[in-house]
Amino acid sequence: MTSYFWFVAKRAVLLVAVIFFGVSATFFITHLSPISPVETALGRIANQSSFSPDAIEDMRRVLTDLYGTDRPLLQQYVTFWQKLAAGDLGPSLIAFPTPAMTLVMQALPWTVALLVVSTLITFLAGNLLGALAGYFQNNMALKAFGVVAVVLQPIPYYVVAFVLLILFGFVWPVLPISGGYAMDVAPGWTLDFMWSVALHAILPAVSLVLVGFGTWFLGMRALVSNVVTEDYVTYAELAGVKRSTIMGGYVIRNAMIPQVTGLAMNIGTVFSGTIITEQVFNYPGLGSLLIDAVFGGDYALVLAVSTISITAVGIAIFIVDLLYPLIDPRVKAE
Amino acid sequence: MFAVLRDLVRYNNEFAIGLVLVAAIGIFALASLFSPVDPNLIFTTIPDQPPSAEFWFGTNSRGQDMFWQLSEAFRNSLVFGLTVACISRIIAITVGLLSGYLGGWIDRVLMFVNDIFVAIPIFPVLVLFYFVLRSDMNTVTLALIMACLGWAYDARLIRSVALGLKHREFTRHAVFAGMSTRKILLQEHLPFVMPIVFATFMNNMLWSIGLEVTLAVLGLTDINTPTIGTVLYWANSHSAMVVGVWWWIVIPVVLTALTFLGLFLLAVSTNEYIDPRSRLRRMGV
Amino acid sequence: MTDEILRVDGLKAYYQMHYFGVQREVRAVDDVTMSIGRNEVYGIAGESSSGKTSFIKVLAAAVRPPLRVVSGSVNYDFRSGPINVAAATAAEVERVRWKSLSYIMQGSMSVLNPVRRIGQTFHDFAFRPLGLPREAFDRRVLDHLARLKLPADILRAYPHELSGGMRQRVTIGLATICHPEFIIADEPTTALDLVVQKEVLHLIRDIQAEMGASVVFVTHDMSVHANVTDRIGIFYAGRLVEEGPTRKMFFAPRHPYTAHLVASLPRIGDTAQRPSLDGRPPNLAAPPDGCRFHPRCPLAVDKCRIDVPPLVEVAPGQRSACWRWQDVQPLDRSVALAHGAVT
């Protein structure tokens, strides 16, 4: 138990470091840029209606105070962390004066749900079929899966999402291709709303599953075909241990270990995929928000989305890491 | 080396298919060197022509011949992928070999940094860079940024091999012979990790080109340089699918899929060639 | 030998490979005929790539491609009935596995599933063949552990938490818990340190004596053979070249290769250089004509290069495949004495 505690402690230090460095990087990348959030904001406001130069000067003072851009960088950095701790990164520009954090928190559940559901489906289906394909290497149906996986695996998320959009948007329009839920349904814990959400999630989720499937399938197939040559599998076979036990308790159980590490390493990539998929299907998650923020020149919102993304991905990896000693008893002994 | 290639082509179908695909795309991309039109210009020809004998891949709504446009785009994207892969390989080899050979606290620090890089989602960071650099974000800058972000996973792989090499007889001989660390790593250890470097090279190209496509489609790169991604960006912005200029989308998507499949097959089959266990399995059939 | 449990006739098992267009055939086991008696401990010796590992794979019905049985038979006479494992179906072999025919595999480090507790592994291996109710089964496992001098709490341990010696005892326990009639032990003491080796050897002997099983004991270490086996068969280049009672093999070997193996044993107080053989074991993909040992044999004559010597009885219970078996020098008695062959 103590060794598990130390394992968790080590991982927790890493999590803190990831969040610290990642968030600091976002801060410095944005603050070392020549773009001033104040001027961007002023430009936007001035575009929408005409103001007197005095009024603009007033506004500039207010905004400078708000963003703190007149202070030295280091002080801004400290203030940034203080505000972040309070969950306040300033008002969003594109939805002024809604706080950027509020927008992020509205979008976060959509992305998390999409990511978790599609990752679980992909991970389970890919590994299960991959394991079968690695064990029964002469099965034709499983070989066919292998070919499909090889063809789909390397294709960028965008292309798969876009092909699905064309297929179900133009060729055979049976599924909703845009938004998180139908316009005529009021959000709430109603059956209608849930059904609409599920329906709208199908295409984004399917595109993520299609691309992700190959990674797990091919990885697991290769791992299993190596594990079946291990002495302990041969020995169990020689001893006449039940097939299902060998498959589950010996082969898959051991091949799973690197796959769980892979899952932790994969979360960042899948997150990138989610962003692009959301954009293609106009899904109301973090990805769409990030792109809108970039094109709206929304300084606070970009910072908020990046910060939360890095933190969320870090936490997700942390959670997967915690599972690791539970499936590999050898880790605890370290 | 040549014999190995010949054997791979002859007896490994995956490698042969991959090689043919990549070679075909490579030739297609190199054709842009002899392009009769400047692919950076617009309205050089009649817009919206379907594929024909004159315009093999049709023309787009911006009045560009899609054949030469795509040829240039693929060359730029492949060069981009090669650049990222080369630079990130150098970082990965340096970190991996040093970490594995030196061990101790240097190893721990490097692997800690490595773990951080693995855990930080790259896409938001790239978007952030675009947000800051805007028009200064050109292909070279993007390649540099991506190379600096895309080495971590492979460095760990190389480290695991270097760890094993450290305790081998020839390393000890080299140390006793007074070889410098730099020499040991470059002359003795580097050849052993080259196979991994080679296999991960193609995976890294896939990754970087794919990410470039993603960024470009969203308009988050220099959209005036033709690349696979920017071609799709312009097609989208002109609603090519809706107005019926399907070839503007379908042809690049098919070619991209073939490129990726080719690179992927090369990576997989070389990986298999390197890993003796899978070779043994093949023998067992 | 009147009461045989195993009879091998004209067994040929080859590795047939096809890779990158090159076809290769390795004659790992080439025409072996021998038998093993009930309750006998039979030692198999030979250097690596002598075919001994392939031979016991056939005995254990563990033949996997690229290894194939080309011809011959491997007949066991178990209490449950006779079976020829070289020709039996998977289901028939399944019936005798572990109940009658068990196996101690080489490499105690890797034969136990690293993510399974020892108790679970015992359950996987022995629950079905024993067919006992759960409680009786648990008692049986505990009794057996006591016999192996293993503490009961290792059942909750993972393999990596045990020492090499303990792991090897566990594999011996797994192989013997069902009281099989025939046990194949493949290098069970290699990679263990000397003290542990001795313990493990005694353990195998004790269990064999107590339960009355036949054991095939494979090791390249002749001093182990001297301590454990009743009879020894020497393999060279895929063939059985000499076979006989252990004492005779040490005192009066009738094959130059056996003589060499015995002579190369180290002796306390002897500072003379151990004789070594020139050359390497032959490439089994293209073995030499005639006697396969002739390129390295100090006694080789022209006949040896052309004709294959048959395995003939040279003394009661002793067979040798050498044209010049009469010229093989018997060994200095002290060598064998030093290794306990006469104790």
pTM value is 0.80
Instruction: Give the pLDDT confidence score for residue B147 in this predicted structure.
Output: 93
**Confidence class of residue C118 from pLDDT cuts 50, 70 and 90?**
very high
**Confidence class of residue A246 from pLDDT cuts 50, 70 and 90?**
very high
- In percent, the amount of chain A with pLDDT more than 90 equals 18
Asked if residues B19 and B6 have their Cβ atoms less than 8 Å apart, the reply is no
Give residue for tokens 């103590």: A2
Instruction: Give the pLDDT confidence score for residue C11 in this predicted structure.
Output: 92
Distance from CA of B214 to the nearest CA of A (A): 6
Res. A48: pLDDT tops 70:
no
In chain B, which residues have their Cβ closer than 8 Å to the Cβ of C65? 284-285
Mean pLDDT of A319-330: 84
Mean pLDDT of C91-100: 88
Tell the burial category of B141 from Cβ atoms under 10 Å away from its Cβ (0-12, 13-18, 19+): middle
The CATH number of domain A115-296 is 1.10.3720: yes
Instruction: Give the pLDDT confidence score for residue B80 in this predicted structure.
Output: 94
Mean pLDDT of A13-27: 90
HEC per residue, chain B: CHHHHHHHHHHCHHHHHHHHHHHHHHHHHHHHHHCCCCCCCCCCCCCCCCCCCCCCCCECCCCCEHHHHHHHHHHHHHHHHHHHHHHHHHHHHHHHHHHHHHCHHHHHHHHHHHHHHHHCCHHHHHHHHHHHHHHHCCHHHHHHHHHHHCCHHHHHHHHHHHHHHHCCHHHHHHHHCCCCHHHHHHHHHHHHHHHHHHHHHHHHHHHHHHHHHHHHHCCCCCCCCCCHHHHHHHHHHCCHHHHCCCHHHHHHHHHHHHHHHHHHHHHHHHHHHHCHHHHHHHHHC
What domains appear along chain C, each with residue ranges and CATH number? 4-220 (3.40.50.300)
In chain C, which residues have their Cβ closer than 8 Å to the Cβ of B272? none
What is the C-alpha radius of gyration for chain B, rounded to an integer number of angstroms? 22
Distance from CA of C246 to the nearest CA of A (A): 29
Instruction: Give the pLDDT confidence score for residue C15 in this predicted structure.
Output: 87
Give residue for tokens 């060998």: A246
Q: Which C residues 38-67 touch B at CB under 8 Å? A: 64-66
Q: DSSP letter string over C88-101?
A: --HHHHHHHBTTTE
C15-53 burial by CB neighbour count: b if 16+ within 10 A, else e? bebebeeeeebbbbbbbbebebbbbbbbbbbbeebbbbb
Chains interfacing with B (3 or more CB pairs < 8 Å): A, C
Asked if residues B246 and B181 have their Cβ atoms less than 8 Å apart, the reply is no
SS3 A57: helix
In chain B, which residues have their Cβ closer than 8 Å to the Cβ of A271? 121, 123-124
Tell the burial category of C318 from Cβ atoms under 10 Å away from its Cβ (0-12, 13-18, 19+): buried
Give residue for tokens 């059904």: A195
- Considering chain A, what is the average pLDDT of its residues? 84
Below-50 pLDDT ranges, chain B = 277, 279-285
Asked if residues B245 and B57 have their Cβ atoms less than 8 Å apart, the reply is no
Res. C20: pLDDT tops 90:
no
Distance from CA of A192 to the nearest CA of B (A): 31
Q: pLDDT tens digits, residue range A291-305?
A: 888 888 787 888 889
Interface confidence: ipTM more than 0.95: no
Best to test chain B binding among C20, C22, C68 (most B CBs inside 10 Å): C20
Tell the burial category of B234 from Cβ atoms under 10 Å away from its Cβ (0-12, 13-18, 19+): buried
Res. C235: pLDDT tops 50:
yes
Q: Which A residues 257-316 touch C at CB under 8 Å? A: 257
CA dihedral C22, B193, A268, B86 (to 10 degrees): -100
Residue with the larger pLDDT of the pair B240 and C277: B240
Interface residue A238 vs chain C (CB under 8 A): yes
Interface residue C19 vs chain B (CB under 8 A): yes
CA dihedral B101, B104, B107, B111 (to 10 degrees): 140
Q: Which tokens belong to C170?
A: 């566990």
Nearest CA in chain C to B12: C20
Where along chain A do its domains lie? Answer: 115-296
Res. A254: pLDDT tops 50:
yes
The minimal CB distance from A239 to the residues C98, C107, C161 is found for: C98
Distance from CA of C249 to the nearest CA of B (A): 38
Least confident of A10-19, A219-228, B8-17, B211-220: B8-17
Interface residue C80 vs chain A (CB under 8 A): no
Determine whether the interchain pair A271/B265 forms a contact, defined as Cβ–Cβ distance below 8 Å. Answer: no
Instruction: Give the pLDDT confidence score for residue B280 in this predicted structure.
Output: 44
The minimal CB distance from B214 to the residues A21, A157, A225 is found for: A157
Chains interfacing with A (3 or more CB pairs < 8 Å): B, C
- Residue type at B107 in one-letter notation: D
Interface residue A86 vs chain C (CB under 8 A): no
Q: Is the peptide bond before A154 cis (omega within 30 degrees of 0)?
A: no
Residue with the larger pLDDT of the pair C146 and A72: C146
Q: pLDDT tens digits, residue range A154-210?
A: 777 777 888 888 888 778 887 887 777 877 777 777 888 888 888 888 899 999 999
Instruction: Give the pLDDT confidence score for residue A322 in this predicted structure.
Output: 86
SS3 C82: strand
Nearest CA in chain B to A274: B123
Nearest CA in chain B to C67: B284
- Residue type at C50 in one-letter notation: S
Instruction: Give the pLDDT confidence score for residue C277 in this predicted structure.
Output: 67
- In percent, the amount of chain C with pLDDT more than 90 equals 23
Res. C119: pLDDT tops 90:
yes
Q: pLDDT tens digits, residue range A261-271?
A: 888 878 888 88
Res. C339: pLDDT tops 60:
no
Distance from CA of C64 to the nearest CA of B (A): 9
Asked if residues C51 and C31 have their Cβ atoms less than 8 Å apart, the reply is no
